[in-house]
Structure 1
Amino acid sequence: MASSARVLAAAMASLVVLMLLLFMPGGASAAGTVVPSIDATRTRHLPLPRGLLRGPESVAFDAKGQGPYSGVSDGRVLRWNGDKVGWTTYTYSPGYSSEACTASILRPETATESQCGRPLGLRFHLKSGYLYVADAYKGLMRVAPGGGEATVLVTEVDGAPLRFTNGVDVDQVTGEAGITYPNGLAISADRTHLVISSTGPCKLLRYWVKGLKAGTIELFTDLPSYPDNVRPDKRGGYWVALHREKTELPFGVDSHLLALRINIDGEIVEEMRGPKSVRPTEVVERKGGRLFMGSVELPYVAVVKRTCHGCENNGSGEHMKHPKDASEYTGGHVRDTCFLPAPGLPPMEYPVGDEDELHRAEEARLRAELTAYEDASFFEKFKGPHPGPFLVREPLVETEEMRQLWLALDGA
């Protein structure tokens, strides 16, 4: 459980960050960096309930892998329960009522936000089950396991009210929560520093909380776009959502950067591109190659699914190709529902949940069948265009063995 003192200390640190942003020198530009790219042109939508709801800005999952959870424009936090049930109410702020907070054409949500709240950042403390919510009007709130009305924890720091509380992260070891006004806040995997988005200057900053540099701030990454929320990528690095590029024009090719993956050293190692009409506020990567995108403007949460780790044009069924060099292949699909790690790596770690249990069982079955997977020649069978779900399946020209393998894997 986070103490108020610790929360206030984190908030004060963020205020110091704000004062330093304008004076932080720029680093080397990330423009022109060539990195693997995910094509997010085609995405699955988790549509919000009918009406004028919009803006599922942040995306969170609980300890059982259930979700996503996301805050929306009428002040509620909703939970996704699968396609049959859809979204249901999980929590709401004190003062919320359906009658007073449901938007209409004559009464937009902007007229009721101060009463109903606007949940932006979400983060679970997985061990306790508490959900922490950064609400633009209510401050920092906490929700007990199971949902219901949220409890307001912090509304001011040293007598100064929190205005437009936006980001939140939780130390999974101690349960301490940190809040910030800048759009993004993430605690490092080793818990030694915070990574914070500086939107206007297009930077990520690193604020040290432990070690010899404790209490100091430095440039972490210089970005080609305006950043929003930052979330861990489960590899020691981070996914940062991008609003738009610095030099972006409203005309021309309908494609821009949606997000970047940054490694532990602050280097850009992967990008996601998609239509200019999409401006994600948060990107969260889950098992099975799924990336969930939140947005403050759209009426849905978008899901991008990796189809191959290390492939060219990853995510595009039409143009995707496996690496020419097997050493570049970092793991990927052998059928639509399952991903395999690269040879020599342990099985993927799936959280608890029906879908993830199916993935785990499928991976075990495929590993038992594909004894040739440990053979380097296995990679040769998968070079060239991907005969995946977006393409008409035709006999593959490389070898008859390859064709038979695909037929077997696809259950034909």
Structure 2
Amino acid sequence: MGCSMSRLLKATVALVILVLLFMPGAMAAAAASFDASRAQQLPLPPGEVHGPESVAFDAQGRGPYSGVSDGRILRWNGPKLGWTTYAYGPGYDSETCTTSRFGTEADIESRCGRPLGLRFNQKTGDLYVADAYKGLMRVPPGGGEATVLVDQIDGMPLRFTNGVDVDQVTGQVYFTHSSMNYDRSEHEMVTKTGDSTGRLMMYDPRTSDATVLQPRMTYPNGVALSADRTHLVVASTGPCKLLRHWIKGVDAGKSEPFADLPGYPDNVRPDRKGGYWVALHREKNELPFGRDSHLLAVRVAADGKIVEEMRGPKKVRPTEIMERDDGKLYLGSVELPYVGVVKRK
């Protein structure tokens, strides 16, 4: 009996060790964690659009602004007025772009555009938009029709423009192009095939020139400029990693691993401590059963270590976590009909 119990105990310990080794994030016991299940919702117009992918605020604190499934960029004006149209891409037509009888969602997106990453230049009031189909666009202060700035590189069209960030000192715009082979409607193929035709790029508004900073990247997605403006942090979705690309110093032009993540990252946004919030669209080894909770995002410190986790219901698949000075966290999603707002206790 004693020998049997001993063998059972050893087997149990071995099983626990295996679980700890193969469950991403399980060993990161030091990381703080909080539950975002009770998020306030800023609902989009019912039945019309969905998928507020990215979240931005202007220099006056108005917003959030977010791009949605019919190609428009909307602005939240408070609970009484709700969302109103702020901007749209070239060729947008309200009749064609807001109904489904003209084809599939992919057809509408390719015609009307699909705004993904959004960032304001806080000095000029320009809003830069990474539109998956139209390329890098700029919306003038006050809104209206966007101007396409970059829709090709080296004579080849940008098929899947994705993330964007703005250097608030120089005005330079950094953005990602996820694949030369697949567009946004085929994003799963980018992961499945290990496609490495993505690029990290820079647009200079002073010269209107676009430059490839790093070619041959594997599914580059969100991008964020570091607090000291020496490097960029780029989400590599398929490999579940963050990369660091140096833009200043002795290592300028070089890319290196920055962090291994417990899930598939989307957008990367700065936190208020010199690090980053990384939205996780899905966990690496997500179980189809068990409690209705999974990792929504992680906060990564400036040294690449995961220091905080956000958990929530499995129906929420965030694409961006944006932190404001008041401590509120805004959740963007390419699937949900609302922007979520979480206030940590």
TM-score category, normalised to shorter length:
0.7 to 0.9
Aligned pairs for 1:12-411 within 5 A:
30-34=25-29, 35-104=31-100, 107-180=103-176, 181=178, 182-307=220-345
| Offset, 1:115 | 1.5
The letter for the 2-side match of 1:135 is D
| Offset, 1:107 | 4.3
CA contact (8 A) 1:53 1:103 kept: no
The structure with the greater share of residues assigned to strand is: 2
CA contact (8 A) 2:330 2:339 kept: yes
| Offset, 1:287 | 2.3
CA contact (8 A) 1:155 1:162 kept: yes
CA contact (8 A) 1:236 1:264 kept: yes
| Offset, 1:137 | 0.7
Unaligned ranges ≥5, structure 1? 1-28, 308-412
Aligned pairs, number: 279
CA contact (8 A) 1:194 1:206 kept: yes
TM-score (norm 2): 0.79
TM-score (norm 1): 0.66
The letter for the 1-side match of 2:96 is A
Taking only aligned residues, the RMSD between alpha carbons, in angstroms, comes to: 1.2
| Offset, 1:289 | 1.8
State the alpha-carbon separation in 2 of the partners of residues 247 and 105 from structure 1: 38
State the alpha-carbon separation in 2 of the partners of residues 91 and 137 from structure 1: 16
Comparing 243-252 and 144-153, the one that deviates more = 243-252
The letter for the 2-side match of 1:193 is H
Structure with bigger gyration radius: 1
| Offset, 1:164 | 1.0
Unaligned ranges ≥5, structure 2? 1-23, 179-219
| 3-state SS, counterpart of residue 326 of structure 2 | helix
The letter for the 1-side match of 2:75 is R
The change in CA–CA distance for 1:159 and 1:49 in structure 2 (over 3 A counts) is: same
2:209 aligned partner: none
The letter for the 2-side match of 1:33 is A
State the alpha-carbon separation in 2 of the partners of residues 75 and 64 from structure 1: 24
